[in-house]
């Protein structure tokens, strides 16, 4: 079984896999899990062993159906009233062309929204909307009925063309769920080192071997996606 095949099976089994992007990009390893399977123990593990920001990806078509914008686009729309927002446009990201960040949400059944249980509940329930019956209007109604914003789960929108136009962890993790035949949403968290910097690739590999987790590099994901 190839590394990519093992990682896809691990995702189907509800396990975390590690994905490193590129030496000339963020140079970061993300913990990745299929959103439909996440539970509070996974959030705790991401907090303690990852240490970065826990975010949930949305495939572009689903984000469009739900009417969920890129945050930068939302800021641009309100810049007439709040001109400061125009000056904050993320045009100078050194490794990217556009931020994937979207809005933040909590499920309405959560309390503060930040606990491991609350975040896991928000993420699981959000993933269910992707597979519900009905068109965009029904999904938007369901989304508004069961979620509130702002919240404690950061949403990330994939680029429209996925890995053809952007090769970030948002796209790579979502592509992995698509290749695994799962709901196209992943929950991710950057791995940080004790020195306050991103965990080195070598230490991330050591962690994966010690914990029995799959480790992929960005080129592995891109090659597998392009071979479909």
**Extents of the domains making up the chain:** 3-226
What pLDDT is recorded for position 91? 84
* pLDDT at 4 > cutoff 80: yes
So what CATH class is 3-226?
Answer: alpha beta
Strands 29-34 and 215-217, bridge-based pairing: unpaired
Mean of the per-residue pLDDT values for the chain? 93
What pLDDT is recorded for position 133? 84
Q: Which residues contact 209 (CB under 8 A, 6 or more apart)?
A: 215
What pLDDT is recorded for position 63? 92
* pLDDT at 160 > cutoff 80: no
Beta bridge partners of 154: 55, 104
Residue 204, number of CB atoms within 10 A of its CB: 22
Catalytic positions: 30, 55, 95, 106, 152, 190
């Amino acid at each position: 079984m190839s590394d990519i095949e093992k990682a896809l099976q691990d995702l189907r089994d509800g396990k975390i896999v590690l994905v490193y992007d590129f030496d000339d990009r963020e140079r970061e390893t993300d913990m990745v899990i299929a959103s439909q399977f996440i539970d509070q123990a996974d959030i705790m593990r991401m907090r303690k062993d990852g240490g970065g920001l826990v975010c949930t990806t949305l495939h572009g078509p689903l984000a469009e159906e739900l009417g969920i914008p890129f945050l930068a686009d939302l800021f641009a729309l309100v810049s007439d009233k709040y001109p400061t927002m125009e000056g904050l446009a993320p045009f100078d990201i050194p490794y990217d062309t556009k931020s994937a960040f979207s809005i933040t949400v909590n499920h309405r059944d959560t309390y503060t929204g930040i606990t491991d249980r609350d975040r896991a509940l928000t993420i699981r329930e959000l993933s269910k909307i992707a597979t519900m019956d009905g068109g965009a209007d029904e999904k938007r109604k369901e989304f508004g009925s069961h979620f509130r914003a702002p919240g404690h789960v950061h949403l990330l929108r994939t680029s429209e063309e996925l890995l053809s136009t952007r090769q970030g962890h948002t796209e790579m993790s979502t592509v992995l769920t698509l290749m695994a035949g799962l709901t196209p949403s992943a929950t991710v968290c950057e791995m940080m080192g004790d020195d306050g910097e991103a965990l080195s690739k070598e230490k991330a590999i050591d962690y994966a071997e010690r914990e029995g987790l799959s480790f992929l590099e960005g080129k592995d994901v891109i090659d597998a996606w392009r071979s479909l």
